[in-house]
Amino acid sequence: MKKTLLAVTVAILGLSACSNLNNKTPQEMVNISVERSLTKDYSYNFEGHARFFLSDKDKGLAPEVAAAAEQKYQNQHNKQVIEAKTADVFSDLEASDVKIEGGLGKKAADFAQKHPVLTQYFQNVQFNMKGAVDLRTEKMEFISEIVNDNKNEYSKMQLPVLFDGKNMTVTVDLPATIPMFLDLFLENKELTKKLAGNGIQFAWKDMDKKEIPLRSTVKAFIKSSHTAYKAIPPSAYKLVDVDEFGKQAGAKYRIDVIWNSENLNIFNNALYRDFDSELTRMQQEDFEEGATEEGYQKVRKFVAMALGQKVEKDTDNESNDFELFEKMFGSPMIESLYLDRKGRMVARRSYLQTNGEEKAVNIEILMQFNRFGKPVFTFHPDQEKVVTFSELVKIFKSRIDIEEDQADDIVSPDTPNVIKEEIIK
């Protein structure tokens, strides 16, 4: 009998979480919360939203962090210019081309300031998210929503998605716009009606990469993405006052982590180490049906590359560049973890401020978690009525075949090959 993720994590971590966080260090608080997330708080509902806005530098989400990052990269830029000029007194043109890192974030802030009407428009567009997670039944529901609330216009578009780990399927309930467009050129009207009413389902068994142990990969990654927090040194965690957002979520503690290159390095190394260890254990104890040894190795290599780890025969990756995010955006991301008195994670907040010449762009993602142990799923697709991905592929393939046949009918034997190819296209 196959073990569920819940059974595995309970067996490994145990149910030793403390009843409260009194006299605990910030790192110990996070460790307790991580353990709870895998052994007790494994089912819940969540809701949140993301936003961006332009502000003065001193009135953004993280003015001190952004200012320090701006100064850091400005110093680096000045050093590069001096080195270039020292190397060659005739290299003024080359030196002038030396660009300060963090250019993407800086350019975004300057662009937003230059186009105030465009910026205001997108500040009134909000990305919302909600759903449910239940590791016991291996299901997750994620409903994304884009709301445009501007002068004389309002629109809302949702995309419900249901992940079923036991059946290894992903079911998507498409916005009406997509089936509407498909109805214009697909002959099979029954299928377009079915698609409009029930959505589409992707099943791993229908894909070409069945040698990949996807189910084991997802389980191992979920677990390791939690346990990797334990590797971050105590100095990286900072206990700060709970803000209004945390109070609304029922938090008693707020712990901040700045994801600079050092902390990212430690986290990603631990993430891959824990992932590799968990995947190996699952491979030895419960080899996934349909998977192959080569499939397990492909997964390890892919995850290693994604996390910046050195892989076999990779001589070019001697050192990992964990400053890539900072280099692109000009400032590190900050994560706030909100815990209740027992250590339960009741909210998370990720935010970033990146400075331009005069203004700052701010990005914020807020998430709250509730209904622990009693999650409510709202998307219940009828498995008998959904359109499968293979059905849709067949319909598109038959449509292409029809169009090619029609093109062949109007092509005579004397038609030049170049014209024939254009007609078929």
Nearest-angstrom CA–CA distance, 35 and 223: 10
For CA atoms 288, 160, 368, 353, the dihedral sign is positive
Within 13 A of 33's CA, how many CA atoms are on the CB side? 27
CA distance 189 to 181: 12
Tokens for 368, please give them: 């709250």
Residue 188 CA: distances (Å) to CA of 30, 32, 191, 392, 425: 54, 55, 6, 10, 22
Residue 91: pLDDT band (50, 70, 90) is very low
Tokens of 231: 């590797």
pLDDT at 4: 55
Assess contact for 306 and 271: CB atoms under 8 A.
no
Tell me what pLDDT residue 94 has: 43
Average pLDDT value over all residues in the chain = 84
Alpha helices in 199-357 (DSSP H): 214-227, 244-248, 261-285, 293-306, 324-329
Contact between 35 and 17 under an 8 Å Cβ cutoff? The reply is yes
Question: pLDDT at position 205, please?
Answer: 85
Separation of alpha carbons 88 and 82, rounded Å: 10
pLDDT tens across 272-316, in order?
999 999 999 999 999 998 899 999 999 999 999 988 887 655 544
What is the dihedral sign for C-alpha 22, 23, 27, 28? Answer: negative
Q: Are 320 and 309 in contact (CB under 8 A)?
A: yes
Phi, psi of 190 (to 5 degrees): -65, -40
Q: What is the mean pLDDT of residues 261-277?
A: 93
Specify the residue for token string 């229908």: 206
Instruction: With a cut of 50, say whether residue 317 has pLDDT above it.
Output: no
Give the C-alpha separation, 351 to 287, whole Å: 40
pLDDT above 60: residue 13: no
Quote the pTM value: 0.82
Question: Can you read off the two tokens belonging to residue 314?
Answer: 């990779």
Whether residue 73 is predicted with pLDDT greater than 60 in this model: the reply is yes
Per residue in 214-255, pLDDT tens? Answer: 999 999 999 999 999 999 999 999 999 999 999 999 999 999
Contacts of 336 (CB under 8 A, 6+ apart): 240, 246, 254, 255, 256, 348, 349, 350, 351
pLDDT for 153 beyond 80: yes
Give the pair of three-digit tokens for residue 145: 């929503």
Asked if residue 33 has pLDDT above 80, the reply is: yes
Q: Which of 101, 94, 210, 219 shows the shortest CA–CA distance to 166?
A: 219
Query: For position 76, what pLDDT does the model report?
Result: 73
**Span 325-341, pLDDT tens digits:** 777 778 899 999 999 99
In this predicted structure, what is the pLDDT of residue 259?
Answer: 93
Spatial neighbors of 352 by CB under 8 A, at least 6 apart, are 61, 62, 329, 331, 332, 333, 334, 362, 363, 364
